[in-house]
Structure 1
């Protein structure tokens, strides 16, 4: 019941989004995103910058610590001036790892603030661990064979690939990757945020199972990160343990 209520609330929030929302395209670890937003909320450390030239010099100073550069990027992103955006943009191009991803988040925030200032209306920004493209969210999916320890046959793989492409295209989505490991079919795909995924996958699995009833009806879908085979099998084992526990008779 709680899960259904949560899904309903999420869908209501999605339905209420304006048409001009933007989605973070990069795949950035969710923990790093949360850290960035914590920096943004820390108003005590987010005073404005008066000298942009000096700020850019500090950003490129090897002696400045990573944490100090993070804070400086957040401060720059808070300005509604093109000059601040250009400084972040130039810095981003020469970075790798954590600071590059941090600069991506700062660029996105700076762009939103500029747009809000120029257009006179609040901008909505959506970020997930797997990012997106345009107004499509990127998802990772794991589909399971009923006999999960047995590999998919070539025919079953072809059925999944063809039907996956067909049903996603029908919903204005796009397949980016699909691979098969033992009894798992793993994929990355893009799908419009405002469209209902459940209906698509219910029809997709029903269609695949016309060719031998080989797919489980439940799938794993996340927009947080790509799961490893070990992650998936651990999750399935935990679910089996919970189901077995629920089936145990109560003791008087």
Structure 2
């Protein structure tokens, strides 16, 4: 029940989005995003924007520490000048690791600032750990097998993949990859924001189960990150434990 309410709230929020929104395309760790947005709350950021831009060469100096570079990037992101945007583009191309991710977030913010100035309207920015493209978000989905000890047969694997691709096409979705392991199958896909995500995969399960009932009704959907095998197994055990607790309460 709580899970259904969660999906309903998400769907309502997506339906209420204005047309002028942009999606962060790159996959950036959600913790990095949260730390970046904490930086954006600093009152002095706007005041330091021009001064930070004047000191932009520090970004390409190996002797300057990471925290200082993050501070400069975050301040330059709100400097309303195309030169700041081009400089951030250059930094993203030449950097790597955590600072590259930080630079991508600053670049996205700078892009939105310019768009807001040119169009004279506020822009909406959507970011998730897995990113997206255009008006589509990327999702990591795990289908759970009825037999938790066995890999799906070749026929079942082909059926699941074919049904998934068929269902995605109906909603202008994009299939990216699929992996099969003992007990579950995982996939990376993209779907438009206005699509009711859970029902898409429920349709896939229903179609597949007409040929042997080899998939569970439950599934895992996230747009935060690609889950490891250990994390998936932990979630499965957690779900089983919750169900057992519910049965005990009855």
TM superposition shift of 1:249: 5.7
Which residue is 1:130 aligned to?
A: 130
Alignment map for 1:77-156 (pairs within 5 Å): 77-156=77-156
How far apart in 2 are the matches of 1:53 and 1:116?
20
Aligned residues: 250
Conserved? CA contact 2:141–2:187, under 8 Å: yes
How far apart in 1 are the matches of 2:49 and 2:216?
56
The alignment yields a C-alpha RMSD, in angstroms, of 1.6
Which residue is 1:196 aligned to?
A: 196
Alignment map for 1:1-252 (pairs within 5 Å): 1-50=1-50, 54-248=54-248
Any unmatched runs of 5+ in structure 2?
none
Secondary structure at the residue paired with 1:25? coil
TM superposition shift of 1:52: 6.8
Any unmatched runs of 5+ in structure 1?
none
How far apart in 2 are the matches of 1:37 and 1:60?
23
Secondary structure at the residue paired with 1:210? helix
**TM superposition score normalised by structure 1:** 0.94
Secondary structure at the residue paired with 1:166? helix
Q: Any idea what the Cα deviations from partners look like across 1:154-190, whole Å, max 9, x if unmatched? A: 1000100110110011111011000101121110000
C-alpha change, 1:96 and 1:249, in structure 2 (3 Å) is closer
Q: Any idea what the Cα deviations from partners look like across 1:1-38, whole Å, max 9, x if unmatched? A: 44443333322211111122110000000000000000
Conserved? CA contact 1:46–1:74, under 8 Å: no
